[in-house]
Amino acid sequence: MAQPLVVKKDDDCDEEEYYSPFLGIEKGAVLQEARVFHDPQLDARRCCQVITKLLYLLNQGDTFTKVEATEVFFATTKLFQSKDAGLRRMVYLMIKELSPSADEVIIVTSSLMKDMNSKTDMYRANAIRVLCRIIDSTLLTQIERYLKQAIVDKNPVVASAALVSGIYLLQTSPEIVKRWSNEVQEAVQSRAALVQFHALALLHQIRQNDRLAVSKLVTSLTRGSVRSPLAQCLLIRYTSQVIRESGMNTQGGDRPFFDFLESCLRNKAEMVILEAARAITDLNGVTSRELTPAITVLQLFLSSSKPVLRFAAVRTLNKVASTHPLAVTNCNIDMESLISDQNRSIATLAITTLLKTGNESSVDRLMKQMTNFMSDIADEFKIVVVEAIRSLCLKFPLKYRSLMNFLSNILREEGGFDYKKAIVDSIIILIRDIPDAKESGLFHLCEFIEDCEFTYLSTQILHFLGNEGPKTSDPSKYIRYIYNRVILENATVRASAVSTLAKFGALVDALKPRIFVLLRRCLFDGDDEVRDRATLYIKLLDGEATVGETDKDVTEFLFGSLDVPLVNLETSLWNYEPSEVPFDISSVPKETKSQPLAEKKATGKKSAGPAAVNGPVPTVDASYEKLLSSIPEFASFGKPFKSSAPVELTEAETEYSVNVVKHIYDGHVVLQYNCTNTIPEQLLEEVVVFVDASEAEEFSEVASKPLRSLPYDSPGQTFVAFEKPEGVLATGKFSNILKFIVKEVDSSTGEADDDGVEDEYQLEDFEIISADYMLKVGVSNFRNAWESMDLESERVDEYGLGVRESLGEAVSAVISILGMQPCEGTDVVQNNSRSHTCLLSGVFIGNVKVLVRLSFGISGPKEVAMKLAVRSDDPEVSDRIHEIVANG
């Protein structure tokens, strides 16, 4: 039995000021001490002490070598002879901590199995937990019977031990644990709180891939048989999952299970109330009527004496404020008192919430409170505040003066790089979006670079200054700041300043002669790059000297942006092998993950709930290109235009897992099937996918490349190629059957049988849709891009979209039909707004640039209408886009 004050007996020298029983402990000595485990007459107390010392060493981060661990393990197994309960507990702990290898486990299994059937509950519970941590699936089948019994054991500790072990085992031996469904279901009805919780968690994990079963589980349990707070929290999570997955197809009316969530707000346990309130605020397209009860309980939490409770409430409300600022305004008074909260996390969250919910008139007052607040919080909190101020300023452009002043004040104060970067980014965004703020913003930035210790920020500001400065009313006043950099800073900043000077020279004719003087001085700089740049720019700006260079070329060279993403350029350069053929920048894929500007704007108002997130944006993977070009059959097809994201053709956790990637070429489509064999006892050979394209008339199969062999757990690819008419949007449905020869594998030797059997496996269907012919390519400035397109190519038409759940749903539906990149964050629809404009950009097959402007309106009975305007490089493509929408 474990007894308090065990160690004290040994050293009863109390006179020392401060002493630790482990002072001067040394691994070698302790390992020597572990010899007492071999004594024929075991001294339980002494053994306990030694184990504690060993555990202490491990806990402090000491490690045992393999030999040492094995030695300790074998010695520890001897201790099963002792009947001392306390010692036995420590033995269990020690075995778990040592996590013995498979061949060692055998030594203890019999002892542990004996304990598992002991009359003592404590032995049973702990032996189960230890055993399940260390055994493999073959041994598991031997003890499965006992585990099933233990799940329904009348002692809650034993039942919980078995259930928790089940959750753990589900990861390694799912097929065995799934057989325990009935027992687990019985345990869900247990009266012991924790057993109920563990049983529910296990039951849900067993069924998680079966939506219908989860939905049934939730339906039966929400009627009120679950009492433990932890289990109720779980149930709330599962319920919101079911609500989320049931989607938006419930036309109007009440949301299923909402009553249950609302009733949980009246629960006795605070953790359940919080869980329910969060679930409600996270609901997709939650209405203000649904929000009200949740906000009310959270408001009560705000004035709690417990910091954790206040934190939980303010954190949740902060999130709600991003999407439904009006719903949170009721709590503003409580929030304001939290600004002075001892806990700075709470105070920061309160401030940022207030910034989100505040109206125009309260901005000045808030700013005053903030100034005191900023000095005593950490950088990471300051960044949060700066981001909140940025979005506030974008919301109330008229207030830019006081907000900009605030930003410039904090820019002058002490702070680390991330904090300063957040401020600079904010100012730049404000300058870009609020024309009035430009002059004062640029001035603040100039002041900042006069005394800036961060090279990165200096160059960023100089670059920005070069683009914006020349367009201001008095460009000459910036020159002084820029030239100071050339005199005072390091080479990187100097080079950047030279480029900025050149930009002023190119755009402002009046300044040109003076810029020349300054640039000539830079020719004597000590750094190569600075001198090179200066030489280049002098040649460039001195237009008369060079033939063929026009002003337009100069500005294009200075201001033209790199139209390929740097990441893609980098990978292409890595793949480029030096040869006769020069590197071609047009071969770099242009597909990007997302628009940087849209991203920055969106961070301030992160969309709530996981459902609002778009599907993963496909990127052309350089590895695909390499793979495809290595196959001679496909070499004649040219370069792939687009590769789709993988589409799963099998359910999760089936025997064979297959997904397909659609590679679109000008006149061909190559289907790449990625197959994985998940059965260790099988080897598949001659794997091929038989594709039935009878529902895709325009496609005809031209080639197929089978996979020679597919061993267990090593993915392989098989390809099928189709021809399609060029210049036609060929679409259609494909059904697939996986055909192969299966051979048995001897698990002990790993050898496959010589004889195989032919077999086939039905895969799910998939479609080639018009979006497959569109690349998601963003533009940095939609308006400029739109206006630079030929007006002749514009095609406008109106469409009725019928009754829709919400505007947001209609917008995302049209985006996914077109498969284009939303620009400037316009894919997010403000809640409850009646109209919305969405800007899309993309590149259509044949490398035709397409821009789309969508205007949506929604009427009272949720009837959605849409105006679609398209501009593109090719008027025919504009018509094509309308066809896609009309058929979609």
Partner 1 sequence: MGSCPSVKNILVLDSEGKRVAVKYYSDEWPSVSSKLAFEKSVFVKTQKTSARTEAEVVMFDGYIIVYKFIQDLHFFVTGGDEENELILASVLQGFSDAVGLLLRNNVDKRTALENLDLIFLCLDEVVDGGIVLETDANLIAEKVSGHGLEGAGSFTEQTISQALATAREHFARSLLK
Distances (CA, A) of 26 to 9, 316, 682: 20, 49, 51
Toward partner 1, which CB reaches closer, 205 or 455? 205
Distances (CA, A) of 25 to 21, 22, 58, 130, 881: 9, 5, 12, 28, 76
Name the one residue in this structure whose structure tokens are 């004062």: 440
Q: Is 406 in the site for partner 1 (CB under 8 A)?
A: no
Q: Is 60 in the site for partner 1 (CB under 8 A)?
A: yes
Q: In this chain, which of 188, 221, 278, 752 binds partner 1, going by CB under 8 A?
A: 278
Please report, as residue ranges, which positions from 452 to 481 form the binding site for partner 1 (by CB under 8 A).
none
Q: In this chain, which of 111, 160, 318, 682 binds partner 1, going by CB under 8 A?
A: 160
Q: In this chain, which of 170, 291, 302, 309 binds partner 1, going by CB under 8 A?
A: 309
Which residue type is seen at 699?
Answer: F
Toward partner 1, which CB reaches closer, 51 or 829? 51
Toward partner 1, which CB reaches closer, 6 or 803? 6
Sheet strands (E) in 616-731: 642-643, 647-648, 656-664, 668-677, 682-695, 700-705, 707-710, 716-723
Q: For 43, how many CA atoms within 13 A lie in the half-sphere containing its CB?
A: 8
Please report, as residue ranges, which positions from 741 to 800 form the binding site for partner 1 (by CB under 8 A).
none
CB of 174 to partner 1, least distance (A): 16
CB of 516 to partner 1, least distance (A): 51
Cα(772)–Cα(820) distance, integer angstroms: 10
Q: Count interface residues toward partner 1 (CB under 8 A).
A: 73
CB of 722 to partner 1, least distance (A): 39
**What angle, 0 to 180 degrees and rounded to 10, lies between the N-to-C axes of helices 400-412 and 379-395?**
160
Q: In this chain, which of 121, 436, 686, 874 binds partner 1, going by CB under 8 A?
A: 121
- Residues 668-707: x where in contact with partner 1 by CB under 8 A, - otherwise, as a string: ----------------------------------------
- Residues 231-250: x where in contact with partner 1 by CB under 8 A, - otherwise, as a string: --xx--xx-xx---------
Residue 588 tokens read as: 């770099």
Cβ neighbours around 545 below 10 Å, total: 10
- Residues 26-45: x where in contact with partner 1 by CB under 8 A, - otherwise, as a string: ------------------x-
- Give the distance from CA 807 to its chain's centroid: 25
Toward partner 1, which CB reaches closer, 319 or 880? 319
Cα(363)–Cα(461) distance, integer angstroms: 28
Toward partner 1, which CB reaches closer, 1 or 523? 1
Toward partner 1, which CB reaches closer, 268 or 552? 268
Please report, as residue ranges, which positions from 580 to 599 form the binding site for partner 1 (by CB under 8 A).
none
Distances (CA, A) of 168 to 3, 152, 275, 403, 728: 31, 18, 25, 53, 53
Given the rule CB under 8 A, which of 5-13, 489-497, 649-657, 849-857 is the region that contacts partner 1? 5-13
DSSP string spanning 748-776?
Answer: TT-PBPS--EEEEEE---EEE-GGGGEEE
Toward partner 1, which CB reaches closer, 194 or 813? 194
Which residue type is seen at 731?
Answer: T
The SS3 assignment for 285 reads: coil
What is the sign of the dihedral through the CA atoms of 254, 257, 259 and 265? Answer: negative
Residue 463 tokens read as: 């670059």
Sheet strands (E) in 263-422: none
CB of 831 to partner 1, least distance (A): 21
- Residues 310-349: x where in contact with partner 1 by CB under 8 A, - otherwise, as a string: -xx--x--------------------------xx-x----
Query: Could you tell me which residues come within 8 angstroms of residue 820 by beta carbon, excluding any fewer than 6 positions away?
Result: 774, 776, 840, 841, 842, 850, 852
Q: Is 4 in the site for partner 1 (CB under 8 A)?
A: yes
Given the rule CB under 8 A, which of 229-237, 350-358, 430-438, 621-629 is the region that contacts partner 1? 229-237
Toward partner 1, which CB reaches closer, 74 or 168? 168
Q: Is 714 in the site for partner 1 (CB under 8 A)?
A: no
β partners of residue 668: 723
Toward partner 1, which CB reaches closer, 23 or 562? 23
CB of 60 to partner 1, least distance (A): 6
Shortest CA distance to 126 belongs to which of 176, 91, 174, 178?
Answer: 91
CB of 307 to partner 1, least distance (A): 5
Q: In this chain, which of 27, 33, 36, 55 binds partner 1, going by CB under 8 A?
A: 55
Residue 26 tokens read as: 């040394």
Listed in sequence order, the DSSP H helices in 590-648 are 596-604, 622-629
Q: Is 351 in the site for partner 1 (CB under 8 A)?
A: no
Given the rule CB under 8 A, which of 57-65, 287-295, 420-428, 840-848 is the region that contacts partner 1? 57-65
Given the rule CB under 8 A, which of 120-128, 574-582, 628-636, 796-804 is the region that contacts partner 1? 120-128
Name the one residue in this structure whose structure tokens are 């008419």: 725
Shortest CA distance to 112 belongs to which of 73, 148, 77, 157?
Answer: 77
Q: In this chain, which of 51, 147, 226, 428 binds partner 1, going by CB under 8 A?
A: 51
Shortest CA distance to 669 belongs to which of 769, 791, 529?
Answer: 769
Please report, as residue ranges, which positions from 354 to 383 form the binding site for partner 1 (by CB under 8 A).
378, 380
Q: In this chain, which of 107, 139, 140, 157 binds partner 1, going by CB under 8 A?
A: 157
Please report, as residue ranges, which positions from 92 to 111 form the binding site for partner 1 (by CB under 8 A).
93, 96
Query: Could you tell me which residues come within 8 angstroms of residue 834 by beta carbon, excluding any fewer than 6 positions away?
Result: 807, 857, 858
Q: In this chain, which of 27, 74, 86, 848 binds partner 1, going by CB under 8 A?
A: 86
User: Do 223 and 216 meet the contact criterion of CB atoms below 8 Å apart?
Assistant: no
Cα(676)–Cα(655) distance, integer angstroms: 9
Q: Name the phi and psi angles at 450, rounded to 5.
A: -60, -25
Cα(298)–Cα(321) distance, integer angstroms: 13
CB of 123 to partner 1, least distance (A): 9
Percent helix, strand and coil across the chain, each to the nearest 5: 55, 15, 30
Q: In this chain, which of 19, 417, 559, 583 binds partner 1, going by CB under 8 A?
A: 19
Given the rule CB under 8 A, which of 163-171, 436-444, 510-518, 553-561 is the region that contacts partner 1? 163-171
Shortest CA distance to 354 belongs to which of 323, 374, 331?
Answer: 331
β-pair type (848-858, 863-872)? antiparallel
Tally DSSP H helices, then E strands, for the chain.
37, 17
Given the rule CB under 8 A, which of 300-308, 405-413, 453-461, 584-592 is the region that contacts partner 1? 300-308
Q: Is 7 in the site for partner 1 (CB under 8 A)?
A: yes
Toward partner 1, which CB reaches closer, 118 or 678? 118
Please report, as residue ranges, which positions from 594 to 623 form the binding site for partner 1 (by CB under 8 A).
610
Q: In this chain, which of 20, 629, 694, 847 binds partner 1, going by CB under 8 A?
A: 20
Q: Is 85 in the site for partner 1 (CB under 8 A)?
A: yes
Q: Is 5 in the site for partner 1 (CB under 8 A)?
A: yes
CB of 697 to partner 1, least distance (A): 42
Q: Is 25 in the site for partner 1 (CB under 8 A)?
A: no
Toward partner 1, which CB reaches closer, 17 or 754? 17
Given the rule CB under 8 A, which of 302-310, 434-442, 559-567, 622-630 is the region that contacts partner 1? 302-310
The SS3 assignment for 452 reads: coil
Please report, as residue ranges, which positions from 188 to 227 form the binding site for partner 1 (by CB under 8 A).
194, 197-198, 201, 205
Distances (CA, A) of 769 to 553, 650, 729, 773: 40, 20, 8, 8
User: Do 327 and 292 meet the contact criterion of CB atoms below 8 Å apart?
Assistant: yes
Given the rule CB under 8 A, which of 6-14, 441-449, 554-562, 848-856 is the region that contacts partner 1? 6-14
